[in-house]
Amino acid sequence: MSTPTTTAEPAAVPSATGTTPLLALTAISKRFGGVQALTDVSLNVAPGTVHGLIGPNGAGKTTLFDVISGITSASDGTVRFGGADVTSVSSTGRARLGMRRTFQRAQVFSWLSVEDNVLTALEWRGGGGGVLADLIAAPTRRALERGRRDRVAEVLAWCGLVEHRSTAAGSLPLGAQRLVELARAVVDRPRLLLLDEPTSGLDAAESTRFAELITSLRGEGCAVVLVEHDAGFVMRMCDRIAVLDLGSVLAEGTPAEIQADQAVRDAYLG
């Protein structure tokens, strides 16, 4: 496991809008053997904004999330997060820096209760100091544990999972499992949240609920990058949208600019 590298890095270059990007991708390419999944992708995400990532099946959206979150390494290019070059930082290191994600197929610990799913997502910072250190630290540790339980309860209430808190996550319907995955992702208060098709398989009411939660996260200053096939949802939710096609950025702009872009209409929106 590599250590997060946040030192000795020059400050991020401000974007054209004057805001320093929270996430800055520069010339990212990714090859899987003979498959060129991403080519020369550059993208900036400003703090506290919702950024859509759309494009046809196989365009490279999930691969880009894998590169951003450090699950896979880019063949070329750099990933900067919070002003630091994190290109060679592990996915765990990037999570510690405040980056979280959810998956196209919701991932939860199916045999654990909802509450324990969320609790295990909170990083444990105690321990490791030997028996004497443990004894001295016990009161602090109990206070920390109470704090952790309080934070989990707060997040479960926020996403409407209180009634399911003792239920095994795997026995819940998909909509609730997606909420459990979201709760796990936000419990440590990330600065950047990557959501891969969060409303896939949800009904209209569940999608609306998800939209409210994303809006509330933005209100708390969390930036969100959203992969989504529901064009209406993306247009309503996003401050900016990037369109990927065959692994390259076809267009990037506000929802109105994307809707008016002829190349995007031809390739994706129809």
Ligand X SMILES: Nc1ncnc2c1ncn2[C@@H]1O[C@H](COP(=O)(O)OP(=O)(O)OP(=O)(O)O)[C@@H](O)[C@H]1O
Measured from the CB atom, the residue of 75 and 104 that comes closer to Mg ion is 104
Tokens 């602090």 map to which residue? 140
Check residue 29 for interaction with ligand X (CB under 6 A). no
Q: Least CB distance from residue 104 to ligand X, whole Å?
A: 6
Residue 52 as a binder of ligand X (CB under 6 A): the answer is no
**Could you give the angle at the alpha carbon of 127 between the alpha carbons of 126 and 128, nearest 5°?**
135
Asked if 69 is part of the footprint of Mg ion (rule: CB under 5 A), the reply reads no
- Which tokens belong to 245? 């096609």
Binding segment toward Mg ion, per CB under 5 A, in 36-44, 101-109, 119-127, 131-139: 101-109
Q: How far is the CB of 270 from ligand X (least distance, A)?
A: 16
The radius of gyration computed from the CA coordinates of the chain, to the nearest angstrom, equals: 19
The reply to whether 225 sits near ligand X by the rule CB under 6 A is: no
Query: Using CB under 6 A, which residues numbered 68 to 107 contact ligand X?
Result: 104
Take residue 105 and report the two structure tokens written for it: 């197929």
Neighbours of 152 (CB within 10 A): 23
Angle at the Cα of 51 from the Cα atoms of 268 and 88, rounded to 5 degrees: 105
Length of the chain measured in residues:
270
Contact pick of 37, 214, 242, 267 for ligand X (by CB under 6 A): 37
Nearer to ligand X, 101 or 164 (CB): 101
Q: From the CB of 35, what's the least distance to ligand X, in Å?
A: 4
- Least CB distance from residue 66 to ligand X, whole Å? 7
With binding defined as CB under 5 A, does residue 63 bind Mg ion? no
Q: Is 58 in the site for ligand X (CB under 6 A)?
A: yes
63 contact choice in Mg ion, ligand X, none (CB below 5 to 8 Å, kind-dependent): ligand X
Residue 250 makes contact with ligand X by CB under 6 A: no
**Do the Cβ atoms of 265 and 54 come closer than 8 Å?**
no
Do the strands 35-45 and 23-32 form a parallel or antiparallel pair, or are they unpaired?
antiparallel
**Residue 32, binding choice from ligand X, Mg ion, none, Cβ under 5 to 8 Å by partner class:** ligand X
Nearest distance in Å: CB 234, ligand X: 13
From candidates 44, 49, 62, 199, binder to Mg ion by CB under 5 A: 62
d(CA 227, CA 248): 15
DSSP for 118-152, please give it.
HHTTSPP----SHHHHHHHHHHHHHHHHHHHHHHH
Whole-angstrom distance, CA of residue 185 vs CA of residue 130? 31
Interface positions with ligand X (CB under 6 A): 32, 35, 37, 55, 57-63, 104
